Structure 1
């Protein structure tokens, strides 16, 4: 699928899902914990790239951080791709040399992210695995990361569909109650 790079439309799509700043969710947390085990990585994150920040819907292996600035952000770069964005050794990768997560105290060395791509082609964020040491992923592992990202998007879609169904049901109940009142002459 081709990535849609219209930032205004991408942000509109992100907001349509009403997922930013929502409470922790056990399903997403289980997926990031599973990814950490599958890839033998200390950190796994489901991130959503907003206008000026990268917000973590779920994170495994880091505590006390809910979001980071969008620039310079690896996730902000990864959403521009339609495949796994891979940084095997960040300290030697020209894309990362000024990134504070690489140069600073955190010491990021490895980053692999599959975009969270909607059926319309908008990359809402990423599913990423991170390490503080140089690592490599096989093609099979990259495919697994893409599969996990697809599962996350499916979960986001299911939640949106459920909210829409509930809203329609509520509207229908309200309409029936009004009709009932009218029939009873109230």
Structure 2
């Protein structure tokens, strides 16, 4: 009887252990993850530029409702659509890519709404200045990737920052201080 009870307890522990999900790590796919930023230009229009290369890792533990996000944006790939303006954006007045070639985001916490990630708090570093920001997710979706035959997740996250907080205040207030940063990300499971 004791052996049967012990076997039942062991079987119950094993079955409950398999129901807990382990953390899953995903590598950011640079070809489908191009962060962008938008700002008001003299009030005439909203201008949009992007970065052509972002790398990093995303870890999610759905059962524990925890995770981490680490994104590195190559600031030298800033693309406004105009090569001359790209050079201007890389100068000291703005990104100063000669001294600060990357922009980073490192999460401090990941918040879930049910089974989906809803927001990510973390530290954004631009031009050597680090500030806390919250990325709010407009979308979050995971499924097997139909071409890669691996699990993949995608998200689109946004936050608003002030250029002056990152020593990039040239032409404020004519060119808006407030910038909307959008990070669309696709990541493939390791």
- The TM-score normalised by the length of structure 2 is 0.32
Task: Write 1 or 2 for the structure with the bigger share of strand.
Answer: 2
Which has more helix, going by share of residues?
1
